[in-house]
Structure 1
Amino acid sequence: MTTLSVFHQDQPEKAHTVTSDASEIRDMMAEHGVRFERWDTRDLPADASQEEILEAYSDEVASLKQECGFQTADVVSLQADNPQKAAFRQKFLDEHTHSEDEVRFFVRGNGLFYLHFGDQVYALLCEKSDLISVPDGTRHWFDMGPEPEFTCIRLFTNTEGWVAEFTGEDIASRLPRYEVLAGAAG
């Protein structure tokens, strides 16, 4: 279930706000310039190719490209049996920013985005049918969990794809990880 938990950065042991209401999540995210939407999903085989996935969502992807100036779209997918899953998880677990919006649409599975605004951290557990667009310059990190199972469409304005600028802050290590928050949401 899509769930938003809000923490004070100095009190990471307890969320002061938790909601699973999609419209409330959308409104709370919009206050910080974050786009959150729920899209209708398509029934696709578990082994659908990148081309099949992009074709199934071609209208939505084309609309976002036109609206936001994205140049390219691809599909990222990770399963729990991937021998590199721990390394992939670690790559995204430190707070960072980007010089472009980070857009993800969850075709299947889930993942946890942490967004750091002032002294608040918004932990948004996204799932199948969720679209999130994190504005450029936003401090954030992503936790796919120890047994990742997700497929996402990604859109980029930079044709080189994902490029991060790490902040060097340790805040990501102080907040509850996927195992805690996804377990609490389930």
Structure 2
Amino acid sequence: MAEIRIRNTNERISGEQNVREFLENQEVLYEHWDASKLPAHLQEKFVLSDEEKAEVLSTFNTEITDLAGRRGYKTWDIITLSDATPNLDELLKKFESVHTHTEDEVRAITAGKGIFVIKGTEEVGYFDVELEAGDVISVPERIPHFFTLMDNRQIVAVRLFIETEGWIAHPFEDPAFVK
């Protein structure tokens, strides 16, 4: 279940309803899918063949098509990151810079863990959303944010897009952001 850490106060928010309410107030969509429906042989696997990626997408097809239908997403894929990922540290540097998009950034975590760092309202400032399997988040377009891995450095996630070109980031310089 997702947990939130507000960076300027170190306050933590946990519990699905509390997390959902906080994120809703920040205009961030949060949902939770049943990660236990993922076949056991994929639950802790972070290097996937094309066939295994298709199996993950097939497992969550109902949830993906429902979310896509409600939010206008046209395409989706699987991203896997782990220490086995070639050039992982270079990829993370790209992801770990505060940026925005011209569409929502959506991730449905199917295995592993990750963190979205998001710029909230003026009174909240930046906050971390610590995600695990089953958590689904949609950061609205033009909201400054970035994504990174947690200490285990392993994640599998479904990415959904409106733009068929996929992930396109626009750098956001913010002197208020402190790593």
> So what's the TM-score if we normalise by structure 1?
0.84
Distance 2:97 2:165 in 1: 21
Residue-by-residue CA offset, 1:98-153 (whole Å, 9 max, x unaligned): 00011100000010101102441110000011000111111111111465200000
- Aligned equivalents of 2:5 and 2:151: distance in 1? 20
Please name the residue that 1:124 is paired with: 129
Q: 1:43 aligns with which of 38, 47, 51?
A: 38
**Unmatched 5+ stretches in structure 1:** 9-13, 176-186
User: Which AA in structure 1 matches 2:103?
Assistant: E
- 2:22 aligned with 1:25: no
Cα drift, residue 3 of structure 1: 1.7
The match for 1:155 is 160
Q: Deviations over 1:46-71 (max 9, x none)?
A: 34622111111110111111111110
Aligned AA (2:67): L
Query: Kindly tell me: are residues 139 and 61 of structure 1, through their superposed partners in 2, closer, same or farther at Cα, counting changes over 3 Å?
Result: same
Deviations 1:60-102 (A, max 9, x none): 1111111111100100001222241111111111110000011
Q: Among 85, 96, 100, which residue is 1:97 paired with?
A: 100
1:3 aligns with 3
| Matched-pair contact (CA < 8 Å) for 1:108–1:152 | yes
Is the CA contact 1:85–1:148 (under 8 Å) kept in the aligned structure 2?
no
Cα 1:39–1:94 change in 2 (3 A) is same
Q: Residue in 2 aligned with 1:179?
A: none
Name the CA distance, whole Å, in 2 between partners of 1:79 and 1:141: 17
Q: How many residue pairs get matched?
A: 168
Residue 67, structure 1, aligned to residue 70, structure 2: yes
Superposed structure 1 runs of 4+ greater than 6 Å apart: none
2: CA distance, partners of 1:170 / 1:111: 24
Counterparts of 1:91 and 1:146, CA distance in 2: 18
Q: Secondary structure at the match of 1:49?
A: helix
2:57 alignment partner, SS class: helix
- Alignment partner, residue 91 of structure 2: 88
CA distance 1:146–1:3, change in 2 (3 Å)? closer
Tell me the CA shift for residue 2 of structure 1. Answer: 2.7
**Which amino acid in structure 1 is aligned with residue 144 of structure 2?**
R
* Structure 2, gaps ≥5 residues long: none
Asked if structure 2 preserves the Cα contact closer than 8 Å seen for 1:96 and 1:165, the reply is yes
